[in-house]
């Protein structure tokens, strides 16, 4: 007689230890037991000894509606193939961001119908009258709020000025939800771009000079200072500089609810090698930094200064990445299928434990978004399980399940590949194809204060 629905056997990565010959036992979609050695009986056994068994990743920053040709359903397929069992989507959709309860709930309904993995949704507000929408967005199930100090697009990605950001954080603070902010100083950015364009200086290397460290660091400090004044959870959504982590640590030490996130491209790509070779394919906000700065970021990763690492995925086509004027190209790129193998590889290359990789990919973002059923292989949690096969795997995006088939990581050798992805104990990705149905995923609402 079977004791469990599913057993997955392999090298279990737990928050503080690794079971070399461990197993995860599942009943009714939840983890019922973890152990080591010979497992109990189960209806279904996946013997993956020699491979890593880890909790499904929570990708805390994706933009599936920005490119207007991918959306959550297709992105969720790429996510499952990449070992991501929960993606958290940003609100900046085309043509209308999720800045009202009505728009948010429509997006949530589509996610529940179309997605192969679980989904959390950020909300945002309109610059002209958005404060009144905040209570409705909280009740609708927003797992965090996103704002920007820089206006990338007046309709889809507007700037929220300091006065409104302060008022918004005051209103959000009692809920316990985080306030994530795009950290880029607008006036300095625009002045730098105007100066470079006037000089005809618009090649690949001009982008970094238009966004020097001060552009990012001023905005990061501003975010944390408003958090200090309001008592809100103030979060910088993509720190690419050591100074950003230093600022976060200083505010934390002063009792501020400050948090910091970086994206895998800032850890695995550098200006001298990758941006020189790939140009606009590696254009991101903020820019890819020089190797010396990348090395400093890894020190913060090793020290535990980073709350989590995300992909910042957006499926721009190469038609948006080919202009010789770097400033005319779209910022961002696909990343759902490379987040887990790239960060895992980077941690191994820098002598950092797989346990830290799991903290950054799973445990950290689950805690950040108040998703208490996610993030670790603990009894009672959702049985979101990923099997990582060790080896040497050259990334080829030709068969990507995302809306585009290019990647800044093309040709990069990773130390693991995603051999299986389980969502609540059911196989979603078998290492070659998606095997679960659209609609298997669920909207994940945060467990917030007083809810």
Residue 152, in any domain of the structure: yes
Q: Which two three-digit tokens encode residue 166? A: 């302060």
* Residue 370, pLDDT above cutoff 70: yes
Give the residue-averaged pLDDT of 400-412: 97
Is the distance from CB of 303 to CB of 282 less than 8 angstroms? no
Q: What is the pLDDT of residue 68?
A: 73
Residue by residue, DSSP assigns 237-293 as: S---SHHHHHHHHHHHHTT--EEEEEEHHHHH--IIIIIHHHGGGG--SSPPPPHHH
- How confident is the model over 252-261, as pLDDT tens digits? 999 999 999 9
Query: The dihedral of CA 160, 287, 156, 441: what is its sign?
Result: negative
Q: Which two three-digit tokens encode residue 143? A: 């797992």
141-155, 226-240, 362-376: least confident range: 141-155
Which among 60, 74, 59 is positioned nearest to 315, based on CA atoms? 74
Domain of 284?
56-368
* Residue 15, pLDDT above cutoff 90: no
Is the distance from CB of 114 to CB of 77 less than 8 angstroms? no
* Residue 449, pLDDT above cutoff 70: no
* Residue 450, pLDDT above cutoff 90: no
Domain count within the chain:
1
- How confident is the model over 334-369, as pLDDT tens digits? 999 999 999 999 999 999 999 999 999 999 999 999
Residue 335 to residue 343: CA distance in whole angstroms: 11
Is the distance from CB of 399 to CB of 387 less than 8 angstroms? no
Q: What is the pLDDT of residue 2?
A: 76
- How confident is the model over 55-102, as pLDDT tens digits? 999 999 999 998 878 999 999 999 999 999 999 999 999 999 999 999
- In angstroms, how far is CA 443 from the centroid of its own chain? 16
3-state secondary structure of 427: strand
Residue 402, in any domain of the structure: no
Is the distance from CB of 58 to CB of 366 less than 8 angstroms? yes
What's the pLDDT band for 122 if we cut at 50, 70, 90?
A: very high
Residue 53 to residue 1: CA distance in whole angstroms: 25
Rounded mean pLDDT of the chain?
Answer: 96
Give the residue-averaged pLDDT of 399-405: 96
What's the pLDDT band for 109 if we cut at 50, 70, 90?
A: very high
Q: What is the pLDDT of residue 451?
A: 54
Residue 92, in any domain of the structure: yes
Residue 279 to residue 112: CA distance in whole angstroms: 37
3-state secondary structure of 94: coil
pTM, rounded to two decimals: 0.97
Q: What is the pLDDT of residue 153?
A: 81
What's the pLDDT band for 3 if we cut at 50, 70, 90?
A: confident
Residues ≥6 apart with Cβ < 8 Å to 98:
91, 104, 107, 121, 122, 123, 124, 137, 142
**Between 236 and 158, residue with greater pLDDT:** 236
Q: What percent of the chain has pLDDT over 90?
A: 94
What's the pLDDT band for 250 if we cut at 50, 70, 90?
A: very high
* Residue 82's CATH number: 3.20.20.140
Residue 326, in any domain of the structure: yes
Residue 316, in any domain of the structure: yes
Residue 129, in any domain of the structure: yes
Residue 31, in any domain of the structure: no
199 φ/ψ angles, rounded to the nearest 5 degrees: -90, 0
* Residue 108, pLDDT above cutoff 70: yes
- Nearest-Å Rg of the Cα atoms of the chain is 21
């Amino acid at each position: 007689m079977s004791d469990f629905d599913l057993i997955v056997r392999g090298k279990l990565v737990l928050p503080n230890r690794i079971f070399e010959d461990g197993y995860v036992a599942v009943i009714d979609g939840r983890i019922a037991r973890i152990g080591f050695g010979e497992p109990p009986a189960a209806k279904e056994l996946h013997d993956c000894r020699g491979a890593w068994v880890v909790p499904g990743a929570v990708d805390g920053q994706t933009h599936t509606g920005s490119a207007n040709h991918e959306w959550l359903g297709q992105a969720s397929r790429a996510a499952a193939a990449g070992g991501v069992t929960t993606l958290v989507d940003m609100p900046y959709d085309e043509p209308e961001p999720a800045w009202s309860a009505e728009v948010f709930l429509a997006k949530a309904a589509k996610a529940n119908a179309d997605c192969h993995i679980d989904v959390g949704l950020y909300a945002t507000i309109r610059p002209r009258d958005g404060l009144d929408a905040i209570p409705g967005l909280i009740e609708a199930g927003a797992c965090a709020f996103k704002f920007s100090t820089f206006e990338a697009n007046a309709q889809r990605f507007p700037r929220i000025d300091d006065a409104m950001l302060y008022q918004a954080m005051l209103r959000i603070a009692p809920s316990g939800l985080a306030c994530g902010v795009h950290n880029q100083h607008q006036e300095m950015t625009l002045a730098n771009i105007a100066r470079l364009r006037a000089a005809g200086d618009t090649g690949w290397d001009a982008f970094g000079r238009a966004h020097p460290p001060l552009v990012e660091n001023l905005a990061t400090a501003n975010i944390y200072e408003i958090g200090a004044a309001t008592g809100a959870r103030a979060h910088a959504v993509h720190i690419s500089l050591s100074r950003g982590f230093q600022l976060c640590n200083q505010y934390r030490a002063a009792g501020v609810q400050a948090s910091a996130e970086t994206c895998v491209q800032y850890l695995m790509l550098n200006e001298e090698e990758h941006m020189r070779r790939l140009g606009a394919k590696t254009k991101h906000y903020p820019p890819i930094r020089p190797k010396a700065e990348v090395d400093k970021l890894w020190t913060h990763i090793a020290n535990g200064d980073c709350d989590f690492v995300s992909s910042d995925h957006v499926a721009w086509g190469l038609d948006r990445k080919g202009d010789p004027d770097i400033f005319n190209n779209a910022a961002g790129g696909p990343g759902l299928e490379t987040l887990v193998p790239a960060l895992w590889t980077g941690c191994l290359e820098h002598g950092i434990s797989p346990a830290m990789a799991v903290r950054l990919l799973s445990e950290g973002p689950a805690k950040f978004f108040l998703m208490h059923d996610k993030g670790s292989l603990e009894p009672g949690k959702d049985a979101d399980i990923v099997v990582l096969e060790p080896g040497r795997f050259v990334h080829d995006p030709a068969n990507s399940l995302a809306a585009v088939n290019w990647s800044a990581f093309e040709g990069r050798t990773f130390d693991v590949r995603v051999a299986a992805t389980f969502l609540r104990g059911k196989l979603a990705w078998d290492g070659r194809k998606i095997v679960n149905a659209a609609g298997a995923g669920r909207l994940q609402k945060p467990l917030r204060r007083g809810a």
